[in-house]
Structure 1
Amino acid sequence: MKDTEFVERLKRCFGNATMADVARRIGVPHATVRNYFLGRLPAPEVLIKIADETGISLNWLLCGRGEMYASDQPPIGLGRFIEEKISEMIDRRLSSAGLPAHAIDVFDVRSAVLRTDDPQAVIGEWLSHEGREFPTDFGIVFFRGWESFSMDEKVDAVRDAKRVLDRTLRTV
């Protein structure tokens, strides 16, 4: 059963950020955040990550009782601040070297998603770009609801699936 009040509180504590942003901030796969947005309760360790990242009270998040924030002030978002500063430094270095900001990405996932709008085709192209083949016996379930994803969510879902595929292929 979906706990819509929990889902609304979860979205609110992240400022109604996209699933991709939430996943990045708490360090879990996009598909996991999608499950939370569909009403599944996070595991205790993830709840702690959410509280640490947002500064919210777990009592408020889980039960809707008490103050939203564990302290009087919302968090300053130190993690996000540091990420932005690192990104700015990388962009400056690339720019000074005469390279475009996206030069780090060898395979352009976003362009492939725009071109094909087919997640398995994108992963196939990515593997082909790396000189590998898509395993014929590997099914991917990360893409349920693909049609409703934003562009950023599609890109993140493909990247998550590729990471899982890479890990799986290393252990086989």
Structure 2
Amino acid sequence: MKKISPMEVGERIRSVRGNKTQTEFAKALGVKKQNYISRYERGRIPSPDLLVRIAQMGRVSTDWLLTGKQGRAGTATTRGVQGRGTTRQDIRKKA
């Protein structure tokens, strides 16, 4: 299993953001402060709920956001994080 690199997660979040400013991206995600997006892009791991929203916005899987690997059969699965009530500790255990 691939270890989760917070900096690589940040790079993938940045790629999902695309041409949007951090402020526009934060607003689209329902995040109150733009500086939170900056923190995530610099390596802080977002909450599981926010990871799901970012994945949905980018039409990618949460697996891809966390590890860079596609979900099963290239699908954009977010059920694992959302459906189980995954905690940050669960995400870190994936590493």
**TM exceeding 0.5:** yes
**Whole-Å Cα distance in 1 between the matches of residues 48 and 58 of structure 2?**
15
SS at match of 1:48: helix
Give per-residue Cα distances to partners, 1:79-118, cap 9 Å, x unaligned.
xxxxxxxxxxxxxxxxxxxxxxxxxxxxxxxxxxxxxxxx
**1:70 corresponds to which residue?**
76
Output the TM-score relative to the length of structure 2. Answer: 0.62
Choose the corresponding residue for 1:35, options 39, 47, 69.
39
> 2:49 matched to 1:48?
no
Matched residue count = 70
* Counterpart residue identity of residue 11, structure 1: R
- Say what the alpha-carbon RMSD is for the aligned residues: 2.2
**Whole-Å Cα distance in 1 between the matches of residues 50 and 35 of structure 2?**
14
Using the TM superposition, give the Cα deviation of residue 17 of structure 1 relative to its aligned residue in structure 2, in angstroms: 2.6
5+ residue gaps, structure 2: 78-95
Choose the corresponding residue for 1:8, options 1, 11, 15.
11
Percent sequence identity over matched residues? 33
Using the TM superposition, give the Cα deviation of residue 50 of structure 1 relative to its aligned residue in structure 2, in angstroms: 1.1
Aligned partners of 1:55 and 1:69 also within 8 Å: no
Structure number, greater radius of gyration: 1
**Whole-Å Cα distance in 1 between the matches of residues 6 and 15 of structure 2?**
14
